[in-house]
Amino acid sequence: MKKKILLIVVLVVLLLGAGVAYAYFATDFFKTEKEMFLSYLLDDKMTAEEEKIAQYFEKKESTSHTYNGKAGMTVSGMQNEEIDMLNGSNITFEGATNPAQKLTELELTANLATGVNVPIMYKQDGETYGIQTNLLDEKYIAVRNENLKELAEKFGLDTTNVPDKIELENTTFTNEELKTLKERYVGILDTNLPEELFSKEKVDKQTIITLSMGEDKFVEVFTKILETLRNDEIILNKLPVGYDKETFQTSIDEMLSDIDGIADPENKVEIKLYVENKSMDMLEVKFYEGDKNIANLVISSEVTENDLVVEVTMRVQENDETAEISAKVQYKNILTLDNVEESIQVKMLTEGTTEDMDLRVDFTNTVKFEEKTIENFNETNSIVLNDASEEEMMNLLTAIYSNLGLI
């Protein structure tokens, strides 16, 4: 009997241990507010919907598809010639791409509010890139990405900083790099933010985890992040073409100088994570000057049926002046992985200023995964400048000058 009781006690202890382990690792039951906050920032696990979304972008990179769409702008409140010309204008486009063969073509038409339409064709064939517009020539004017210094010399240009070939560096982060970056910068938060700055509350089905700190603490932590960012080799190796290490580090130094000594401990910053079903749906950042909320940043995402919507809004208010910029990105049918309607809407608004502005930019694009024949560059449809003789170059320039009405 004693052995049976002992066995039952051991089993109960084991079951309780398993339950505690599950509660700790699979739920937020035993985690402190700080642990919960940082764990959601570090979370790399994707839901089934998020995996589908990732599949769409991977498919877009590797699979032939066609696309067509439109971009336009409307604005009120600002008065100048450039704005008047762009207001109500739009760009329509359609094209196709074949990633396997490195073939892309795009027909783009600028429809100006003045009634003028300007069609432009773009094509990529391997390492050769070209454009065609009747303002220049009937053929594509193309450049092959090689011997560029020699080509520049043909036009009498200064070739000091011209490379023989433009090497487009890969600016995409690997999963391992993303993991390292997350751990590195969340680690700064973990080290420098004490437990008492965190709290949580339950509102309906949502758990709201809040980090609240004085502006002095915020500047202290932000300074450490900038100092780490300044010499982060992963970031430095991903800088876009034309933005070198020295320029990047100078920008960081200027930011560090700007925030040095500006912190007021009477001001505060709040960062809230909104969590539902163990998934973070929204992030909100609020800046307070005393008791007055002067700036808000909200980032949210939502998946409904087959659609994904991501919204970002930044609002700043000082005295009676308000400035707001918002962006809404929507992907309809994204979970079906075909016939996806992409749309981006950006709004900028100012109120209470001498020149209030209300600007809106809309972009739509429909992607279909289907094959379309794309013609390669050839002698009939293009002039590849790398291969053109002096006579051909002169004839081309003469034709361009004539089309532009310069001769």
| pLDDT tens-digit readout, 36-89 | 888 877 776 767 777 888 899 999 999 999 999 999 988 887 666 667 777 878
Confidence of residue 100 (pLDDT cuts 50, 70, 90): very high
pLDDT tens-digit profile of 41-56?
A: 777 676 777 788 889 9
Q: Which of 191-195, 240-244, 312-316, 367-371 has the lowest mean pLDDT?
A: 240-244
Span between the terminal Cα atoms of the chain, in Å:
111
* Exposed / middle / buried, residue 314 (Cβ in 10 Å: 0-12, 13-18, 19+): middle
CA distance 185 to 371: 43
Closest CA to 374 of 82, 156, 161, 123: 123
Q: What is the pLDDT of residues 273-324, one digit of tens each?
A: 998 887 888 999 999 999 899 999 999 988 888 899 999 999 998 888 899 9
Give the pLDDT confidence score for residue 339 in this predicted structure.
94
Residue 118 φ then ψ, to 5°: -120, 105
pTM: 0.79
Closest to 120 (Cα-Cα) out of 105, 136, 131: 131
Tell me whether strands 382-384 and 137-144 are parallel, antiparallel or unpaired: parallel
- Residue 308: which of 57, 98, 83, 29 has the closest Cα? 57
